[in-house]
């Protein structure tokens, strides 16, 4: 749907989409007596549904303040991704992705699946988990018929979007882009080796909120040299203790530019020229304690990257970039 209001001062575009995909390729584990470990099969069905809205407003057009213009562009989108059929297979039979994510029927692709964390025992500083019935236990059992692994966190944001404001006045322009994401969770896979587990990894200051003596109400377990004190070796310690809210608001780009007047360009036979200074990834507002909430775990295989969209493992943050530019036409 498209609409214009107030003589074009406000324009709107909106769209709703629903796509059901069948016979989707899935990497399936097969018996190794065949001489192979896995096989691609067309067995899955996936639903994608969402809403998109774009609004452009021309707040000032140079009449109230001669030469001054202010334009705002806003967009917001939602997505519901759901695996609707797996051809009768279980998540354990489907390959790809990290050890902490799965393809599960009724959930988005790459859903985080791990043992749910409840709290730290004030008496001894050990983690307390939840079994599949929601009962507290200090046993850590991940896989198998008696395992406690369950879908954890929220993979897909409630909404994402951005807003750009552009101001123009007598050859000068200032443009700022903010992007946002709300409602998703992010699994920080490196945190389990940087929080209270004594190894050769660098520690994070978040680990200061750890259990130290009986009676402490702490966010993280006691210091340990052996991950089995948490219930499992640290490399397999996949628990929602390391799943964090990952909503953020980021100043993605800020650009100031000046169009050099034509009278200064004629003798150089230049028709137009613009000088600009811009910055990218300048500021991020978030409660995520890791390096960057707008990242995904790195993999050599692009399929694994798609399967683990909300897992980060010491992934480098997006760098701040400052750019000075000169554009001209002859």
User: How does pLDDT run across 225-254, given as a tens digit for each residue?
Assistant: 887 778 776 666 789 999 999 999 999 999
User: How does pLDDT run across 114-140, given as a tens digit for each residue?
Assistant: 899 999 999 999 999 999 999 999 999
Distances (CA, A) of 280 to 72, 173, 250, 283, 321: 19, 17, 10, 9, 5
Q: Which secondary structure element, helix H or strand E, spans residue 304, and what is its range?
A: helix 302-307
User: How does pLDDT run across 30-47, given as a tens digit for each residue?
Assistant: 777 778 777 888 989 999
- 111 Cβ contact partners less than 8 Å away, ≥ 6 residues apart: 101, 102, 103, 104, 151, 155
In this structure, are residues 103 and 83 in contact, taking their beta carbons and an 8 Å threshold? yes
Strand pairing class (2-5; 68-85): unpaired
- Please work out, in degrees rounded to the nearest 5, the angle formed at the alpha carbon of residue 174 by the alpha carbons of 172 and 177: 160
Distance separating alpha carbons of residues 317 and 311, to the nearest angstrom: 13
Judged against a pLDDT cut of 80, whether residue 98 lies above it is answered with no
- Which pLDDT belongs to residue 193? 85
In this structure, are residues 312 and 186 in contact, taking their beta carbons and an 8 Å threshold? yes
Distance separating alpha carbons of residues 290 and 310, to the nearest angstrom: 13
Please state the domain extents for the chain: 2-329
């Amino acid at each position: 749907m498209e609409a214009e209001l107030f003589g074009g001062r406000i324009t709107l575009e909106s769209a709703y989409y629903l796509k059901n995909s069948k016979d989707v390729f899935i990497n399936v584990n097969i018996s190794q007596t065949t001489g192979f470990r896995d096989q691609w099969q067309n067995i899955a069905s996936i639903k994608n549904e969402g809403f998109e809205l774009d609004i452009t407003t021309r707040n000032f057009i140079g009449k109230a303040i001669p030469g001054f213009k202010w334009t705002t562009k806003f967009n917001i989108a939602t997505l519901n991704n759901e695996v609707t059929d797996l051809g009768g297979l279980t998540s354990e039979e489907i390959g790809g992705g990290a050890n902490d994510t799965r393809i599960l029927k009724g959930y988005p692709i790459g859903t985080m699946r791990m043992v749910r964390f409840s709290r730290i025992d004030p008496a001894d500083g050990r983690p307390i988990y939840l079994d599949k019935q929601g009962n507290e236990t200090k046993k850590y059992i991940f896989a198998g018929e008696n395992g406690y692994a369950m879908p954890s966190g929220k993979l897909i944001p409630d909404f994402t979007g951005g807003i750009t404001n552009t101001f123009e006045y007598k050859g000068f322009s200032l443009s700022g882009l903010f992007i946002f994401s709300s409602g998703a969770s992010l699994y920080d896979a490196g945190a389990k080796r940087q929080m209270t587990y004594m190894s050769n990894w660098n520690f994070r200051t978040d680990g200061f909120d750890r259990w130290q003596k009986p009676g402490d109400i702490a966010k993280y377990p006691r210091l340990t040299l052996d991950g089995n004190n948490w219930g499992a070796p640290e490399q397999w310690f996949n628990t929602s203790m390391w799943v964090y809210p990952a909503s953020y608001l980021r100043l993605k780009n800020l650009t100031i530019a000046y169009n050099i007047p034509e009278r200064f360009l004629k003798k150089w036979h230049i028709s137009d020229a613009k000088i600009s200074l811009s910055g990218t990834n300048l500021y991020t507002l978030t409660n995520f304690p890791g390096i960057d909430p707008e990242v995904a775990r790195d993999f050599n295989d692009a399929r694994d990257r798609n399967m683990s969209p909300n897992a980060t493992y010491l992934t480098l943050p997006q760098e701040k970039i400052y750019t000075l530019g000169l554009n001209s036409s002859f």
